[in-house]
Amino acid sequence: MTDDPDDRILRLNAALDSELDAMSALEFERELASDPALAADYRRLEALRRAIRRSAPLEAAPPALADRVAALAPPSPRSTRVFPAPRRRLPAARPFALAASMAAIGLAVGAGVMSLRTQNAAQGVAQALVSDFAQAEIAGQPYAIASSDRHTVKPWLASRTTVSAAIVDLANQGFPLAGGRVAVVDRIPAPTLVYRHGEHMVAVTELPPDAQGVRGGGAIETVDGYHVARWSDANLAYVAVSDMDEKTLAEFVAAFREARKPTAEERR
Amino acid sequence: MTGSAPGPVAGERFRALVPPLIDDAYTLAKWICRDPADAEDIVQEAALRALRALETTSVERPKAWFLAIVRNAAITWMARNRPKDVSYAGDAADLDALDPRLGEAAPDPEAALIALEDGERLRQAIAALPAALRETLVMRDVHGLSYRDIAEAIGAPVGTVMSRLARARGALAKMLKTEP
């Protein structure tokens, strides 16, 4: 198109960055096919960019920094949109605390209150996690640490959350690990693993087994157009949110549960 | 407004938007100022600016928006704390002197490949780029911002972004080839 060496190199870079318009891109493809020197330069640039991406990955911010930043806008306890569960829990906490010295009675009261609230709290957790999923998707940040290596994801999550993340690789089952992030449920940071399936994502959030509203019957629900599955094992409760179809999500859950069968050691 | 509580809308926008981008922010700040402790200060300052802006703004492309704030917070921070180190304003002429071309192919392609495999050497080469080239390269290749996003962040035309990017890559290619 042009003989100016500067223009040529600018176009080479723009092509590499997918910043050429459709016509120019087509033309560039043709030139690439007929000009071995251009093709060689293109390959060198590509190799350089690959190396840059590999050598200069995103660095995890120090957890203390993340905490300081989060503290700039702490969630309001009366916030109704993202964290509905704590609002409901507050009035119930008092009778539970009063009865705490009498363990048996305390337990009975607590259990009764819990079953009354389960339905609402369950909706709250699902809703919060669906909002979280949608926001992460819209922000183009489905995970805060991108890695298919569970030995990278685990320490990252461990430094930011209190639940120990159970990380399994499901690449062989068609759901490669894509990364991890932290979801906030009831104002508690909870480790969330993001798996990929083609164009779709599924985010599994791990919660303490006694967290409000995480017990589910195994049926898949639909919340705001996303599918939600809930289950628990001996150690943890899980909530999976996905934009996959119901059947695929069910397959994912089955694969995850199979892979996560607690070992005897973990049952403690 | 340091010290005053954010409005509920700004707070909610902030919580949805900023924490997921904290690693991006830290990485960019660190590449610009080349010091981890300073990068933390810069990110904190940027987060505060973002929170302030979110009182009145809703954001379409959060990553580009927040990274632009981080970049500008880094520039002010450097001007205040390390005035000698800031070369953004004065180095336009130096930049033009940098050749965007990749140079002749390495006589030994094997050696060139090995140089690319050496992550530490590549990081040092990036850190040695002039500031204006380095920030452009990092925004593009580390953070994946588009030319348009970068142009908005650095307040320059897209043509400038293209030429800085080409110069940065050209300089890296040469550094990796010539330095031992």
Per-residue model confidence as pLDDT tens digits over B123-180 = 999 999 999 999 999 999 999 999 999 999 999 999 999 999 999 999 998 888 754 4
DSSP code, position A61: P
The pLDDT value given to residue B136 = 97
**In this predicted complex, what is the ipTM?**
0.84
Say how many CA atoms lie within 13 Å of B143 toward its Cβ. 33
Which residue in the set B30, B51, B146 is minimally distant from A59, CB to CB?
B30
Q: State the nearest Cα–Cα gap between B154 and chain A, in angstroms.
A: 18
Q: State the nearest Cα–Cα gap between A46 and chain B, in angstroms.
A: 10
Asked if residue B35 lies in contact with residue B81, where contact means CB atoms within 8 angstroms, the answer is: no
Which residue bears the tokens 């293109």?
A42
Give the residue among A176, A243, A232 at the shortest CA–CA distance from A205.
A232
pLDDT band at B103, cuts 50/70/90? low
DSSP code, position A228: E
Two tokens, residue B159 = 């043509």
User: In residues, how long is chain B?
Assistant: 180
Asked if residue A76 lies in contact with residue B11, where contact means CB atoms within 8 angstroms, the answer is: yes
Measured from the Cβ of residue B109, the count of other Cβ atoms closer than 10 Å reads 11
Taking the model in full, what pTM does it have? 0.55
The pLDDT value given to residue A220 = 83
What element of type H or E holds A189? strand A188-197
Per-residue pLDDT reduced to its tens digit, B79-92: 888 776 655 544 44
**Is pLDDT of B52 > 80?**
yes
Spatial distance between the Cα atoms of B27 and B39, rounded to a whole number of angstroms:
8
The pLDDT value given to residue A202 = 92
Two tokens, residue B2 = 């340091």
**Is pLDDT of B63 > 70?**
yes
The pLDDT value given to residue B62 = 92
**Is pLDDT of B58 > 90?**
no
Which residue in the set B24, B102, B172 is minimally distant from A41, CB to CB?
B102
Q: Which residue has the higher pLDDT, B138 or B9?
A: B138
Two tokens, residue B73 = 């917070």
Which residue bears the tokens 């954010």?
B6
Residue B87 phi, psi dihedral angles, 5° rounding:
-125, 20
Asked if residue A242 lies in contact with residue A175, where contact means CB atoms within 8 angstroms, the answer is: no
Judge: B40–A136 Cβ closer than 8 Å, yes or no: no
| Residues of chain A predicted below pLDDT 50 | 1-2, 78-119, 268
A65: chain B residues, CB-CB within 8 Å: 22, 26, 40, 43-44
Percent of chain B with pLDDT over 70: 77
The pLDDT value given to residue A80 = 40
The pLDDT value given to residue A245 = 87
Spatial distance between the Cα atoms of B60 and B169, rounded to a whole number of angstroms:
30
Q: Which of B54, B116, B167 to mutate to test the interface with A (most CBs of A within 10 A)?
A: B116
The pLDDT value given to residue A144 = 73
Which residue in the set B23, B166, B173 is minimally distant from A61, CB to CB?
B23
Order the strands of the A226-232 sheet from edge to edge. A145-146, A177-185, A188-197, A200-207, A237-242, A226-232, A221-223
The pLDDT value given to residue A111 = 39
Strand A237-242 to strand A226-232: parallel, antiparallel, or no bridges (unpaired)?
antiparallel
Sequence letter at residue A230:
R
